[in-house]
Each structure stands twice: as structure tokens, then as C-alpha cells.
Structure 1
């Protein structure tokens, strides 16, 4: 029986029941048997098919367990055309402790690969504006006997100008594929000289000119003539792009953030004040979170302010975090209350809950209802009321205690402090009456450094 021939199966049922009854079988039991067969047919495999699936599943599990970097590189390569899947699997790789590095002209291939250090290197073929021919030219140039590319101009001399044109140069620069060259930052590639020419243009012309000069020298009838050496263009001096500008340009070419993420400076808030930890992606299945308060942090990537046909203002905001993005609609009083936060590029903290949609009868037709929007930069100060410093007595020594004391003394502030000393399953809680701290980035960095040494943890108490 097979689900692909449901019509044929339906035609055979009367014959099965009648012939079964003729042979003295109970009709009720025959009906039960037929229903069981139909259920089986809805997802049935023959033995050979099941065996093949089991064998592939075993091989996949073995590779993932024993060659995790190679496995994840293959998965990323298989999903290169789907940027959402690439983002998901990059996050999965990092969660498993496998670094995912940006593209590099000295290491990358067309697809994702594992470098000698065990990290996954981004595939050049996944970059916008870099075609398969260009990637082949980059890889072929590395194999010309001179080893890796030593500089931007060495790269320009050794790759084919037919395949690596100005557009490809720009994509490689924006995506960070030239970051391995010492003394260069990405803004310099696009800085103009006194004649309005960028370093990218000069490098492309230099490479084409050098190869043309080589070809002319080889074709000359005067074998004794020396090849004329072309001087390398001067590298312009300019300020680096700020991190947000760099990441935005990088994402335009690669499709994802590689060098960092705009939310990296808010990792503390993301970890301790957002719930659930999976972030916005939980709203893909909102019913599971019905009735629960949810807290998200993200960057506004799109905001719209509109007027309805009835003349009432409303708007929408699309929020993006590490794992996904979500669009929220705001109407009536909610829009008037939160419209000032609907600014592209702003980082906001959103609270709300999953509720039944307005004007819908189906109780399972739900949406996330925004209850509060705040600036993400303000929530740490507003929300955190007390820090609980948890110390394992067996892991403490005089030096570590002195470091803890200096850290507390050097960061006075409004957040209450409680020290918890743990020993053999028992805990002594000691709220401080005289010491309070400020949870600024400097304090958090020092605290994380102490935690890395073991024996120290912390938790937070929120005022809301």
C-alpha cells in the first residue's frame, strides 16, 4: 500500500471487505484492519528504502560527532543560496565552538572549507558580485608557485584582469577578503586620491598594466631588454569606517554579519534581560508562548509611519536580532505611545505577550502584542536592581579576593550587592549595606575575566 495511489486503494476497499466476509471474517475486524493499513500507507517505506535512510542517518551522525567542523562546512556549502539557512548554521557552528571566519583571498575556496586551524572559512562563492569564474581566478593565482598573496598589489599582479574586474575587487574589499593584508583597513580601498581615483581602481589598473607589460616583454624580438618595473600606487591615508558602517557594507555583500554584529555591545542585556534566550525566532510558532511575557532586544531595520483611510495614524517596525527578524504592527494608542522609537538603526527593548488577534474569532489565530518599547541602552540601568556574586569557597585564594575587592571599589554605583559564599552544598548570603556597584561595560569585562578563572558566578535581580 502507498500514499501515492490513494484512489486505487479506495477502489479496493469494497472488494477486500466483501471477499473477507465471504470467507467468514468479522466485518468489524476487517474495517479495523483496513483503517490500520490506511494509517500505515500514509507514511510507509519498504525495507530497502528504510535501510538506505538508516545508513545515511548513521553516516551523517558519525560525521557530525567526529568531524564537526567539516560537517558544518558541508552543510553551509549545501545551503549557500539561502542566506537565512546560512545564518542559522553559522550560529549553530559557533554554538558548538567552531569559529566561522570571513572570506579571505588566501584561504577561501568557492564553497565553505575548514582551514588548517580548524575554523570554517567563508566561501567566496557565497558573496554577491563574485562569480564562479572570479573565484577560480583567485584560487588559480594562489597556485602559480609564488604561494599566498603578499599584498593587494601582489594579488592584482597575479590574477586575471578579465575575471577580477573593478566590481569584483570592490566586493572582495567590502566583504573583508583583503583583511589579511597588513597595513590596510577597508575604508582605504575606497578613499580617493587627488584625481578622484580609489585604491581599488588604481590596484585594478596596476595589475592589468603589469600583466600587459609582462606579455609585451615576452613577445619582444629583443630578448635582452629588461622588463620595465611599474611602481606600486600609493596607499591613501584615511580614517577607518565606524563599526556600524563597516558591518552594514559587509552585510550588503555577504548577506550576513561576519566581523561582528551590531548587537554585540548589548550582549549583557541580550543574555540577562531578554526571554526566551532564542530571541525573535520563537515567534515563528507563537502559540507555544501564548499568555507569557516575552522580552526581545534588537535593531530597527525598517520603520513605517502611515495614515489609514479613516485618517488614523498607525505604523510598523521590523526588529532584527542574532537569529531572525520580526515585523510588529502598532495601532491607535500603542502607535502614539511608541512612534518615537520607530527609527531605523535604533536599538530597542520590546516587551509584550502573544494574544489572540484583534477582530478574529479563532482563538488560535494569535500575534505578539507590544506592551512596552524602550531604548536598549537604558534598560541595564533601569532594570537591574541587585547583583548576586556567587563565590565557591574552595576556589578562592587571597589574590582572587583582592581582585574582587578592587573591582567593587573601583566601580561604585546604584546597583545593590549581595555576596553568596558556597561550600559543600551550603550557602551563606551576605547583603552589603555599604557597597553598591555600577554595571558598566568595564565592570562586566572585569567580572567576566574573574569568572573565566572558575569558582565565581553571578545572577541578577531585576526591579521589574
Structure 2
């Protein structure tokens, strides 16, 4: 979709077709509705309504935070509005954006440089936006030829004084001959010259705007397919994929985890949801995942874990790749215990190698056929991962928390702490909210530096279920917080945040364990378990801190129903104990309510 020539049809819902169309390549496909980009309506109400709300994540040219603010103010309703925004949203012309919006909305009088220029400036509410308008103004006011007007435009762009003086004389003389006073002609020349240095070619802006509109149309009218295509294009950029996960949540579109029996190598559409791409898992390789999908297509879904490992090619699916498939949850449908799978990786690889040797001896095709699927596969007993470890390992393989986030277990407790979700922080600041805010986050990478004064400072990555940010921490706070940060536990962080352009900058003022903060605001804890095995260890942990005023409710998951049991005693339950509860094998969840 990046050019104006070549095939302009796309077929939905295959995301690779959207991807190709987005970049000007040919479109193909077997399923869905065939769309001809040249016939898409340019007055689609859902598209303009979406643009007016600034919901442009993934939309070509229009997805930056600042651009979204402009769109929310402008409420575009024609392609001309989008063309103008594309031309204006650059250093220099940006100063005219507030006036353009006010004039369009009838909040500011439209004033023209000269009455004779109304015909060429009416569409832009009296504001010079395009280079073509410079040339037309010279032709109308001063009688320039088309070639002469182009020379004027070039001279103004170069700002060479000698050439500017020469062009001023020509312009003023021509304008005087057509009835404009010399002073007014010189004033208009100065205003045009000021603009001409950064004027944008309208034909270029129109090309960009048309692609932007087409992209927006696809998102507004085919959001699931659009998001799958967009995520495929950025499938190796985990920061963008994390942002698109947030966008999918806002759109109400489920994001299904990677699955060797359902995922494609790229992101795909599945029953109104986006299915995570196998090729987007870290350190697996798109080619190896394409081969895995080809094997599944040729010989059917993998019937069991034994069937899977007997059909993979160990030359393509090595130990590291298999580990990342496990950590990402891509084998959950075959064996849901990721901890057991990781503990038995060597067993799985040996089984795969034996099956491959059997295929070779029987001259089976590479990466094809069920091989020795009948060979028994026995896994050694292993400790199940806790929820915390499961999410931590998943993040290692995916690049962000996918199936859940460590903060999800805190539920309503976060509301009582008055924290600001990261996705809403920029809007909070733009709307005049205080920069002193509290964030509930999980800490990520920490980069420590030594300043010129010899004091240490650090940049700390932080995330919640809605996004990821980086905060700066000076030496005094770093010294007080290092031990807490090293625990890797969820945190309540006090920051001083501000907007710099489109970026949120924040200085971390204080850090404490989120469990400590929640403990002060919460008196009831729900502990969910699916089996009785963790009960003895659970009893010991609950009694560790002695009697207190916190109520514990056990939630036993029995087949298709839940049974709640309220424990009689009250418990103190310090933060360390809550953390230990979450890490206890067999515990499904611990929530403050």
C-alpha cells in the first residue's frame, strides 16, 4: 500500500495480503472479501470517526502520540483534512496546526494574505501549507509564469539573499502592476518567503494521505485482519508487539497465545481473534516455524506430545528453540505443564533424534511423515512452575507478558492505591494532570551509570499490563531502592513525570514492594488452588506471621465449579509471605480483594 502504481487489490482476511498491499506489492489470497483499493469510498464515516478519536495505532503516518492529539482536535471528515495534516505535522508548519484546527471548527476567523489569494487558500482556511500554493500565489498576485513561479519557490527554499532580493523586486513590481500597493506586496512576499522554506509538495502529501486513509479504512472496517497484518509486519519488534497487544485489548479483540497446532509462522486470524505467530517467539527462526507449519499442514495436527517430537526435524528444532516454544506456551495444548517439559527437554530431543534416524533409515522425506510416533515417551517427574515463574519464563520467550501480567492478581487493590496505568499516563499529563503520580509496575532491566560527579544513577525499565516505560533514578533513591529492585517483585513507584514532545520522561522518587502497599489497603485475600497438594505448605505460610486482621478465603477449583472456604482465623500476612504464596507450586492465584 506504499505506492500508487501496481496491483491495488487486497483480499481479506489473510494478513500477509494486507502487509503486501500496505507496501505496494501484489495481493493474493484464497479466502475473504476482495477489496480494490481504488474503489474504497473516501467518505467512510467509521473511518473518519476512528480518526477523530485518535485511535490510530498502526495507521501509516498517523500513529504518533502528537498526531493523535491533532486528529482528536481536528476531527477530520475529508481526505483534504488528512492531506493537510500530513503536510503540517513537521517542524515549522506545526506552528500553524492550532489555527488550522480552530479555523476548521469555526473558532477563529479565516484571514487571507490578500483577497486575490482566497481562491487558492480557501481549502486550507487561509493558511499556506503546500508549495503549489506558493507558485499559484506568485502567478495570481504578480503575474509569474509557471516556470518563473518555480524559480521563486526554489529561491525561497535556498534562502540565498541575492536571489531573494532579485525575486522580491520581480514580485513587488508584478503585484504593483496588478493594483497592489508596494508595501502590501512586500509584506505578502515576506509571509510567503517565511513559509516557502518548509512548504510541502501537495502531491507528495496527497500520496501519503491516501495510503494513511486506506490503512485507516482497513483498521476501521476490518480490525482483526488489519491488526494481524500489522503485527506480522512488526513481528520482530517486541516493543511494538507489546503496544499492539494493548491496542487489541482496547478493540476487544482476543490475542490467542502461540500454539503449534493452531498458529502460523506469521500472525493469523482465527474466529474473530488474532493468533500469535510462532515466528514471533524469540530465537526460533521464522524458517524453522514455517517448516513446522508445513509439516502440520501435510500430515495433520500433532496428536500428542510424543507425536510432535517424533515429527520435528532436530536439525531445525534444536534444544534452544524447543525451550522457547515451551516457555512461550506453544506446547500447552499437548502438555500444559511447562515446568515438566523444561525439565525433560533432553528426553524430548532424544526422542526427536531417534524418530529422525528412523525416518532416515526408512528413506522418509525431510520433516515429513509421522516417523516413530509409536515410541513411548516417558517424562521424569518435575516440580510445576508457579504462576510467577510461568509468566517470567513466558516473558523471556515472547519479549513481554502475553497470557497474563504479574499485576493481574492484584485486581481491585490497585484502584484503592490510586495508580495511573502506563497507557493513560501521557493523556493524564496532556490533560493537565499532576506529574507526581504512583505507578504499579514490575521492574525489568536496570542500567546503572556513573555521572561526572562520581555519583551513580540508573535507568529502570518498568511495565504493567498496558505498556512499558523507562524511569531515571538518582543516586540517593537508587541506594535506598537497590535491594527492593533486586527482588524483581511488583512495585509501587512514586515518580515525577513530564511530557517532552511526545515522550513521557519520569524521575523515580521512591520505591516500595507493591505487596506492602496493598497490605495497608486490603484486608481480604483469595487463594485459588486446583488440588490439595499445596495445603500443608499453605498452612505453614499462613501461620508464619502470626495472628492479624487479614481474612483468607480459599477458592478450590473442582471440575467446572469453584468452592469458597473462609478460614476462621485472621492472619498478619506480610509482603514476603504473600510473595511466597504466589510462588507456591499448585497455587493458581493469590488476589487481594
| TM-score, normalization by structure 1 | 0.67
Map of 1:17-166 to 2, 5 A cutoff? 17-23=168-174, 24=176, 25-34=180-189, 35-36=191-192, 38-39=194-195, 42-47=198-203, 49-115=204-270, 117-144=271-298, 146-166=299-319
Alignment match, 1:214:
362
> Given the alignment of the two structures, is residue 258 of structure 1 paired with residue 402 of structure 2, yes or no?
yes
Measure how far apart 1:280 and its partner are.
Answer: 8.6
Measure how far apart 1:100 and its partner are.
Answer: 1.0
Q: Name whichever of 19-28 and 121-130 sits farther off.
A: 19-28
Q: Name whichever of 339-348 and 125-134 sits farther off.
A: 339-348
Decide whether aligned partners of structure 1 residues 28 and 101 sit closer, same or farther in structure 2, where only a CA change above 3 A counts.
farther
Alignment match, 1:185:
337
Deviations 1:401-421 (A, max 9, x none): xxxxxx9x999999xxxxxxx
Measure how far apart 1:79 and its partner are.
Answer: 1.4
Q: Secondary structure at the match of 1:14?
A: helix
The 8 Å contact of residues 411 and 592 in structure 2, kept in 1 or not, is answered as no
> Given the alignment of the two structures, is residue 351 of structure 1 paired with residue 499 of structure 2, yes or no?
no
Decide whether aligned partners of structure 1 residues 379 and 55 sit closer, same or farther in structure 2, where only a CA change above 3 A counts.
same
Q: Secondary structure at the match of 2:351?
A: helix
Measure how far apart 1:305 and its partner are.
Answer: 8.2
Q: How many residues align?
A: 371
Measure how far apart 1:85 and its partner are.
Answer: 1.0
Deviations 1:140-176 (A, max 9, x none): 11221x3211122322333444333333322222222
Q: Distance in 1 between matches of 2:313 and 2:450?
A: 55
Measure how far apart 1:33 and its partner are.
Answer: 2.8
The 8 Å contact of residues 188 and 237 in structure 1, kept in 2 or not, is answered as yes
Q: Distance in 2 between matches of 1:18 and 1:374?
A: 70
Deviations 1:234-282 (A, max 9, x none): 1332222112222222222221222221222124344443443336964
Measure how far apart 1:296 and its partner are.
Answer: 0.8
Measure how far apart 1:94 and its partner are.
Answer: 1.4
Within the candidate set 183, 200, 207, 2:348 is matched to: 200
Alignment match, 1:382:
520
Measure how far apart 1:216 and its partner are.
Answer: 7.6
- Relative contact order: is structure 1 or structure 2 higher (C-alpha 8 Å, sep ≥ 6)? 2
Within the candidate set 1, 10, 16, 2:167 is matched to: 16
- In structure 1, the gaps of 5 or more residues are 218-226, 357-365, 386-406, 415-439, 445-464
Q: Secondary structure at the match of 1:164?
A: coil
**RMSD after superposition:** 4.2
Measure how far apart 1:212 and its partner are.
Answer: 2.0
The 8 Å contact of residues 17 and 27 in structure 1, kept in 2 or not, is answered as no
Q: Name whichever of 154-163 and 273-282 sits farther off.
A: 273-282
> Given the alignment of the two structures, is residue 295 of structure 1 paired with residue 430 of structure 2, yes or no?
no
Alignment match, 1:172:
325
> Given the alignment of the two structures, is residue 237 of structure 1 paired with residue 381 of structure 2, yes or no?
yes
Decide whether aligned partners of structure 1 residues 338 and 190 sit closer, same or farther in structure 2, where only a CA change above 3 A counts.
closer
The 8 Å contact of residues 114 and 121 in structure 1, kept in 2 or not, is answered as yes
Measure how far apart 1:370 and its partner are.
Answer: 4.2
Decide whether aligned partners of structure 1 residues 170 and 67 sit closer, same or farther in structure 2, where only a CA change above 3 A counts.
same
Alignment match, 1:401:
none
Measure how far apart 1:42 and its partner are.
Answer: 2.0
Alignment match, 1:428:
none
Within the candidate set 248, 271, 276, 2:420 is matched to: 276
Decide whether aligned partners of structure 1 residues 17 and 101 sit closer, same or farther in structure 2, where only a CA change above 3 A counts.
same
Measure how far apart 1:19 and its partner are.
Answer: 1.6
| TM-score, normalization by structure 2 | 0.54
Q: Secondary structure at the match of 2:472?
A: strand
Decide whether aligned partners of structure 1 residues 281 and 82 sit closer, same or farther in structure 2, where only a CA change above 3 A counts.
farther
Measure how far apart 1:32 and its partner are.
Answer: 3.4
The 8 Å contact of residues 271 and 277 in structure 1, kept in 2 or not, is answered as no
Q: Distance in 2 between matches of 1:6 and 1:213?
A: 77
Q: Secondary structure at the match of 2:266?
A: coil
- In structure 2, the gaps of 5 or more residues are 1-130, 135-152, 366-370, 524-563, 572-588
